[in-house]
Chain A
């Protein structure tokens, strides 16, 4: 009976072990995750097709250490039925980078990862391999490649405290590359002689995973350098290196213990990621903005100085997560993204994005534009809501610095004419790119007479200039007018042309910039046709009804780009040769791109980016690979 129970127990454990997937090995500290669904992706991009590309050849050479011997990534022992999860994260102590993946054949895997040496494993059932700073851990059919680095400020803190605790001053932290000063040897206490052993640098790879020793040291420490091992001929930077190495080991053990012993992983603790990973798509991405902001280094200092304030401020970012799917469809690539946030920020965003679409904008966007965007927000409402939410938090903090800031904000709030400010710039704007135009550009040439005396002569040469328009919704055209009137009094290049203003040579020192400031719009453009012939809008040539419908239907943000037109029209003379080559390579691989957003609620906003290339390609996977390969070959 006992044997039966044991067998069943063993069987259950084995089943559970085998049932574990690569996505169960994403560290809890990961803040960013990009998970590629190999099965789904490979249906669109056959592996056989993939390995023929030049970028794959080079990747495989790297992977197989230069000696491909006819091997391809198919021979790397990777289980393409599992997801491939790339992650990055950082906390106050360390950063963690790596990826987790399925393993089909361990021997083949180490044919690829042949730089890795097997080292003693601290955990039963987990194999540890190491290559410089990278560590590969294998359990069952799962591999995790990890790199864990201590945060430099953490290393500095410990190194400083250890250094000063030993009675040394700042001045003795001489330059790393300097020779050791004789004076320093002379200052060394007599109790230490040159035979005293140096601090071990913990670079013996065999020691790295001796968990007992490591844990003992961690428990005993607090100070990571053993006092008796004082090394008279080590300078501050040697000490710092030792501490970094020791911390690297400590944190690596911590992360790997969480993953392999405690069974802690991000999918388990974060329902948003867990749900996202269930999507049957080619790739998913995840960014935990809450932790990203909390762990941003500038916050750390203020957390020490004003803990309650920072707690409240960071509380605003609660549940702030951005997640998304990437889908490769037959003739398009789609990225669906959701920005999630908590109530406090959600309320501000909702107010911000509650602006009504300003139809005036569409009059100034030509129907044949190459690209345009519209952005509709209500800054006035957002300001009021932000003031309402942020000020009570700031007022709670009694520090002099915050109180003086609160005073300044309250005074400005009381004295400034907010209506004038937010009526002048309400928050709505649009931009459009209308291709290029040949514009005569003034230049000077030298002309020589028969005795080589010369004069500078003005000539004009036609050059390609990109034509753009940028416009803002306003209720107060009178305010910019005040400014422009005075500018024209001071500077002859500012000219009032009636329905528009002209500023000579304002764009790239070469062509005029036009300002249209009436009818609720403030528009800057170098499109002479718009300013001179269409200052009230393009009329019948404005955006079509269906374009306007799509634009209005989107939430606060809408963008559209015809990549073919953009690529054809961007002036090459502006670019470096690499950029020109890249554009030329993309010329045959282009389509339409559209960005839309949903209405903003208190909990989320959805975005959708569609790259559409109807009818010209075999499939989206092939299209993407062609694109990647073109770019790769150029950049080589």
Chain B
């Protein structure tokens, strides 16, 4: 439970007190394998985060120190890279600017999701509700690709005050999906297509997304692979 507590405190601390930028970038190959990149950038709030991390506790809740955060990250990575279909895992934690970068190659989106769920579950042991509905957020079909954002990464927060809302509004969640062939069309009208027509980007501010996770739902229709 202590593990879950630390993990949740960390997430709450970062999301609720910072201007956060999340980049969720996935590249899908023809055979279903691909590369996943997930960056959390808190550099615009580093003064505040540094001052918070200097505290022992806030509002009666323990604030994890840098060593504890690093330890949790290491544990997450150890679990994650041990999962089937996951390889070349790289994790960069830049505590000077509070930027955290995860990158890995995966065999299939199904295995990627299983690995992420399993690694997150190991962090929030004793708090199974944290994962929310155990649905997939990446689905590869013949000629199309459906994606949303995992519920646990944008936990809906019911009681927000004005300052927290403003902070979340300044924060961004950017989702990029790349393919090795041309994109024909996509369902989400807010999405934009890359000039080379092989990638789709969706962007939302963190507040809107926290209130309505379906904002980043998108079905992308693909052209047949060039011979």
Contact = CB atoms under 8 A, between A and B. Distances in A.
Interface in A449-469: 450-452, 454, 456, 461, 463, 465
Contacts of A510: 46-47, 50
A451 B176 CA distance: 10
B161 to A, nearest CB: 5
Given A452-B176, A509-B97, 9 more contacts: A441-B47, A444-B43, A444-B97, A446-B41, A448-B201, A451-B198, A508-B54, A573-B47, A577-B163
A452 B201 contact: yes
Interface in B21-44: 21, 23, 39, 41, 43-44
B96 A505 contact: yes
Contacts of B135: none
Contact of B46 (A509, A578, A580): A509
Contacts of A461: 44
Given A446-B21, A452-B176, A574 B48 contact: yes
B12 to A, nearest CB: 12
A403 interface: no
A405 interface: no
A577 B199 contact: no
B209 to A, nearest CB: 17
17 contacts: A444-B97, A444-B99, A445-B21, A446-B39, A446-B41, A450-B195, A451-B196, A452-B194, A461-B44, A508-B46, A508-B54, A509-B46, A509-B47, A509-B95, A577-B163, A577-B164, A578-B59
A577 B161 contact: yes
Interface string B147-185: 000000000000001011000000000101010000000
Nearest to B101: A456
A439 to B, nearest CB: 9
Interface string B80-122: 0000000000000001111100000000000000000000000
B134 interface: no
What are the 5 A-B residue pairs with the smallest beta carbon separation, nearest first? A508-B50, A450-B195, A443-B43, A451-B194, A443-B44
Interface in A417-446: 441-446
Nearest to A507: B50
Nearest to B193: A452
A278 interface: no
Nearest to A444: B43
Which of B39, B54, B97 has the most chain A CB atoms inside 10 A of its CB? B97
A54 B150 CA distance: 46
B15 to A, nearest CB: 15
Contacts of A509: 46-47, 50, 95-98
Interface of B: 21, 23, 39, 41, 43-44, 46-48, 50-51, 54, 58-59, 95-99, 161, 163-164, 174, 176, 178, 194-196, 198-199, 201
B51 A452 contact: no
A182 to B, nearest CB: 29
A584 to B, nearest CB: 12
Contacts of A450: 194-196
A451 B195 contact: yes
A574 B199 contact: no
Given A442-B97, A465-B47, A574-B51, A452 B59 contact: no
A308 to B, nearest CB: 38
A576 interface: yes
A572 to B, nearest CB: 9
A433 to B, nearest CB: 15
B161 A441 contact: no
Contacts of B96: 505, 509
Nearest to B94: A444
A444 B47 contact: no
A573 B174 CA distance: 25
Contacts of B41: 444-446
A42 B155 CA distance: 52
Nearest to A465: B47
Contact of A454 (B23, B98, B99, B161): B23
A573 B164 CA distance: 11
Contact of A443 (B46, B59, B195, B199): B46
Contacts of B199: 451-452
B47 A446 contact: no
A448 B54 CA distance: 34
A103 B118 CA distance: 66
A116 B53 CA distance: 47
B20 to A, nearest CB: 12
B42 to A, nearest CB: 9
A117 to B, nearest CB: 35
A441 B48 contact: no
Nearest to B164: A577
Contact of B178 (A446, A452, A465, A580): A452
Interface string A494-509: 0000000000010011
Contacts of A456: 99
A223 to B, nearest CB: 39
A510 B54 CA distance: 13
Contacts of A451: 194-196, 198-199
A452 B97 CA distance: 23
Contacts of B196: 450-451
Contacts of A463: 47
A233 to B, nearest CB: 32
B221 to A, nearest CB: 18
Contacts of B194: 450-452
Contacts of A443: 43-44, 46, 97
A574 B54 CA distance: 11
A71 B181 CA distance: 79
Contacts of B176: 452
Which of B41, B48, B50, B51 has the most chain A CB atoms inside 10 A of its CB? B51
A175 B195 CA distance: 67
A453 to B, nearest CB: 9
A509 B43 CA distance: 10
Contacts of B47: 441, 463, 465, 508-510, 573-574
Contacts of B195: 450-451
Given A443-B43, A448-B201, A576 B59 contact: yes
Contacts of B23: 446, 454
Which of B47, B96, B176, B196 has the most chain A CB atoms inside 10 A of its CB? B47
A67 to B, nearest CB: 31
